[in-house]
Homo-oligomer: A and B are copies of this chain.
Amino acid sequence: MTLIDEHAHAWTPGEARARFRSGVSGATAGTAAGHTQANLISVPADWAYDMLLFCQRNPKPCPVLDVTDAGSWTTPLAADADLRTDLPRYRVWEHGELVAEPTDVADVWRDDLVSFLIGCSFTFEWALTGAGVPMRHIEQGRNVSMYVTSRRCRPAGRLRGPMVVSMRPVPPEQLAAAIRESSLLPAVHGSPVHCGDPSGLGIADLSRPDFGDPVDAEPGDIPVFWACGVTPQAAVMASRPPFAITHAPGQMFVTDARDEQYRVA
């Protein structure tokens, strides 16, 4: 899958959401530069406590930016947005099985859905870019590479599953900046969970990501792994709640919030 549009970085968040509402889809890495992107997971109210506790117990993959009231499709993170239509593409799940990947979910929405907006690593890419760290996937016009790992999340109620990570190849001379800058953004995954040998996370082959696109590394690049907001989606696959809606990996909700506001210092 390619990025949505070569000019997407200059869109305002509202322009981006309007395009997605009209049916445009694609990976949002770099879209509406400087504005916070979020993962979406909507579950029936009966599962909301388990999901919120799962997020609290696994804050690196699941940093919660907002939780809606049951049935609501609005969020203070984007005043005029409709969570049912304003993402590029969704995934609809029944009993842990993917049943559809539509560009809006108004027709399958339920009054008992509680929606979780979870921090996305696209949010710290501005900080890494500003510190001189190249973003290989954006340079190559691709979605970031994501992998299911052998690390288990701490379970919560009925929810369990593996941690999912995103990977960016980083030149050794920029490794310190990449770690430092992402550490200052704990609300959007924070510091990496692993650097170097992918087998440490049970990843056999970097060229075959579980989600997103393969990304070409330059000679000498070190693979750096950050906890990823697709993790709740993996928990849905593993734990099989009767119904759930998520974003499609890499096709995020673009908020009006500014990335800087999540920086701790």
Contacts and interface: CB of A to CB of B under 8 A. Distances in A.
Interface of A: 48-49, 52-53, 55-57, 64, 67, 180, 183-184, 186-187, 190-191, 264-265
A265 B52 contact: no
Contacts of A264: 183-184, 186, 190-191, 264
**Dominant SS at the A interface?**
helix
Nearest to A185: B264
Contact of A53 (B57, B67, B184): B67
A57 B75 CA distance: 12
Given A180-B265, A264-B186, A265-B183, A56 B49 contact: no
User: Which interface residue of A52, A180, A191 has the most chain B CB atoms within 10 A?
Assistant: A52
Taken together, the copies of this chain in the complex come to 2
Determine which residue in A183, A184, A191, A265 has the highest number of CB atoms from chain B within 10 A of its CB, and name it.
Answer: A265
Contacts of A184: 264-265
Most buried by B among A57, A190, A191, A264: A264
Contacts of A191: 264-265
Nearest to A64: B56
A53 B184 CA distance: 24
Contact of A49 (B48, B187, B190): B48
A186 B263 CA distance: 10
Contacts of A55: 56
A157 to B, nearest CB: 8
